Chain A
Amino acid sequence: MILALKDDLPAFREAIRAWLCDVLPSDWKQRQSTATSDEYYSFQRWWMSEKDKVGLATPHWPESLGGAGLSLRHEEIIADEFARAEAPTAGMYVVALNHIPATLLAWGTEAQRSRYLPGIRRGEVWCQGFSEPNAGSDLASLRTRATRDGDHYVINGQKIWSSHSMYADYCILLTRTDFDAPKHKGITYFIMDMRSPGVEVRSIEQVNGRAEFGEVFLTDVRIPVENRLGDENRGWYVAQATLAAERGVLAFEAAERQRYSFERTAKAAIVSEARWMDDAQYRREFVQLFLEMQAGRRLVRDLFQEPRGGTVPTMTPAFIKLSGTLLRQRFADLLVRIGGLEGQAFEMGVEDFIDEPMFDYLTTFGLTISAGTSEIMRNIIAERGLGLPR
């Protein structure tokens, strides 16, 4: 019924808003913040199935891949309404919903697309096996070994920072197949079934008390040749398609959630007649960040205006990543200071923007590291954007 209204944007928006109000328990955040990891996993599966019932599980996918084939406008409306309602984020489905279709569209065979994409709507979880203990910012130096053995490859090595790998059904895996070639030219990309013998996952507890990512140990894991994406030793180029998925609607939704977080903070301050509004320092910092929040939303919108796959790479995605994550951190930092001792009381959060200042603050230190550290983003801006020598 929501999708049937797609030609009437205001009605489409109204329908999503009504559905969210109807389906989402108002206290889901409070309940999930004290949930175990397993309970939270079940909750996310439930949310995915609810979205699927109304056609919103994969609204942004092309119809040829089983999506709703909605336009960017629709995506913006959906993201905005989800943000406004403080609905759960894509959470453990981020990779499945964004990175997998982006990669399979560019590099997958027809067989691979029809084999893997339909399962995502049914709630299959994907994780990313890219980083290694000794290959972080220098990802291309990865050393997990893949050796051809008949119609299989045999994998040995270790991956780390694989979000939700404990619950993952599949993993997109970068391995080294040629140890003699220059480092970017000896990498091969696979789809790995996480139930394969030899795969062992250990979760890693984070500074914010949650344990969303894991270490993945791989011992003589056998992957069939047909699970290779792209040619042998061309995996680095396949990975570029995966990483490009971090642009776009994901950034849009984060920026919109940021907006509502600011508005909730301002509203709460008014309602409770918070003392910080009378403090010149806090008040001035708040309005400065408020401006940067709004500017950041416009920066994301400008990204949508840029031609896709244009020949001249722009700096906009790097600007968004760097400024967006630092803004989150500075805002959380301000709220922690405003919170005083009361704000130090231990309150667990779930996901982002829970409005628990210390939890949010600690969470942001993951954001300025993952998907390209702030320092790597500065290198990218300086070298690829400004043309400074490497």
Chain B
Amino acid sequence: MSDPAAVQQVVVGEGDISAEDLRSNIAEILAELSTRRAVHAYLAGGSDLAEVLWDQAAQLGWLSIGLSEEIGGLGLGASGLAMLFSELGYALAPGAFIPTLVAAQCIERHASAHICQEYLPQVLAGSLKIAVSANLPDGGEAYFLGASGSALALVATAETLILVEPGDTYPVAFWDGSRPCHKMTGHRQIARLDQGDDALRYFWQLMALSATADSVGGSAAVSEQTVEYLKTRVQFDVPIGKFQALKHRVADQAVRIAVNRRGLTQAVEAAQRDQPSGYMWSLLAKASASEAYVQIAADCMQLSGGIGFTQEYDSHIFLKRARLNEALIGDSAILRDLAARELFDFVRNDQSTTDIPL
């Protein structure tokens, strides 16, 4: 994740830590806790890594990164979420971070003060996990991202976004075992977050932005790891990284990651500035970054040779996360169609979506 270009100086709270300091702090702690060995153990059912990380996150204030300072958050908004989710993606961290924090962000923006008072302090304390709709309603099965049995869920229907107390929930075993998913039958509505589609759009915008961040972090990690493998694996008496056919593939990965990282920046800035094009940019960034993650993770599996095909190596964990990210919300075709409709509307109204303030 060492990309000095992406550094953005933001003053956080009273401590005057820069955003970059916070990022490296998060990265360091994850490198210590969410090691590859620990992730493998978790996936094999032999560790409580997800809970350990969650407790750490609560203690260190990561769960407050996006919420406003008035309610005890760090006030970094979408940019804070993107930073955290990139690092969690980089570390292959298991858990329900994305659903809980996206839901909290939506609650703060769209729910009544009473609802905020009731639930957000619990999120900050780490005592409440929230599940969220994982796919756009398209007449098919509705899935939820987050732990089965969560006390609270944010449900996106075609018309509205509602906060509910889930009825019965059924865990779904996906190939990616690092982010819990489930189905739900019945629920008790607690609050309707708004009547128009603004809250819905904001919810999917943040979901897309979060999946983008996870994808950018994950693809950087798998690519870096593969570059190291090419430096050390010797065949024909040379490190295989000497072969141009392989060099060019990882160079292309690096470029693609750099481009998608800026796609994420675009989505984050549009969200931070509350631009109407933010929804479009998030969908486009997600389609691009998750597709790139899948292709990079698959390429890395091939570049890792026989070891890459084994359960004990990491390639498959990246590839499975990438595939889940790609399928989240909706596939790339659906997201691009939604974004194209937005774009053509902006153009029709002579509104530019591409201004970057100096």
Mask, B227-264, CB within 8 Å of A = 1, is 10011000000110110100110111011001111110
Measured between beta carbons, the chain A residues less than 8 angstroms from B344 are: 266, 269-270, 277
How far is B288's CA from A294's CA once the two chains are assembled, in angstroms?
Answer: 12
How far is B5's CA from A288's CA once the two chains are assembled, in angstroms?
Answer: 23
B339 at the interface (CB under 8 A from A): yes
How far is B242's CA from A376's CA once the two chains are assembled, in angstroms?
Answer: 15
- A10-50 at interface with B (beta carbon < 8 Å): none
Report yes or no: A389 in contact with B285, Cβ–Cβ below 8 A: no
How far is B227's CA from A383's CA once the two chains are assembled, in angstroms?
Answer: 11
- A272-298 at interface with B (beta carbon < 8 Å): 277, 280, 283-284, 286-288, 290-298
What is the total number of residues of chain A having a CB less than 8 Å from a CB of chain B? 52
Report yes or no: A291 in contact with B231, Cβ–Cβ below 8 A: no
Report yes or no: B248 in contact with A270, Cβ–Cβ below 8 A: no
What is the total number of residues of chain B having a CB less than 8 Å from a CB of chain A? 46
Measured between beta carbons, the chain B residues less than 8 angstroms from A53 are: none
Report yes or no: A323 in contact with B358, Cβ–Cβ below 8 A: no
Report yes or no: B336 in contact with A316, Cβ–Cβ below 8 A: no
Asked whether A284 and B247 contact (CB < 8 A) given A295-B263, A306-B5, the answer is: no
Which of the residues A77, A287, A316, A323 comes within 8 Å of B5, measured between beta carbons? Answer: A316
Question: A382: nearest residue on chain B (CB-CB)?
Answer: B247
Question: A285: nearest residue on chain B (CB-CB)?
Answer: B336
Report yes or no: A382 in contact with B347, Cβ–Cβ below 8 A: no
Report yes or no: A319 in contact with B284, Cβ–Cβ below 8 A: no
Asked whether A319 and B255 contact (CB < 8 A) given A287-B336, A388-B230, the answer is: yes
B265 at the interface (CB under 8 A from A): yes
**Most chain B CB neighbours (cut-off 10 Å) among A290, A291, A294, A387:** A291
How far is B309's CA from A17's CA once the two chains are assembled, in angstroms?
Answer: 59
Question: A380: nearest residue on chain B (CB-CB)?
Answer: B251
Report yes or no: B337 in contact with A284, Cβ–Cβ below 8 A: yes
Report yes or no: A378 in contact with B284, Cβ–Cβ below 8 A: no
B340 at the interface (CB under 8 A from A): yes
Binds A, one of B48-56, B81-89, B124-132, B348-356: B348-356
How far is B343's CA from A336's CA once the two chains are assembled, in angstroms?
Answer: 21
Question: B256: nearest residue on chain A (CB-CB)?
Answer: A323
**Most chain A CB neighbours (cut-off 10 Å) among B238, B254, B333, B337:** B254
A51 at the interface (CB under 8 A from B): no
Which of the residues A9, A263, A267, A302 comes within 8 Å of B262, measured between beta carbons? Answer: A302
- Pairs across A and B, CB under 8 Å, 17 listed: A76-B358, A77-B358, A263-B347, A266-B343, A280-B333, A280-B337, A284-B332, A293-B354, A298-B266, A299-B5, A303-B5, A378-B248, A378-B252, A379-B251, A381-B251, A381-B255, A388-B230
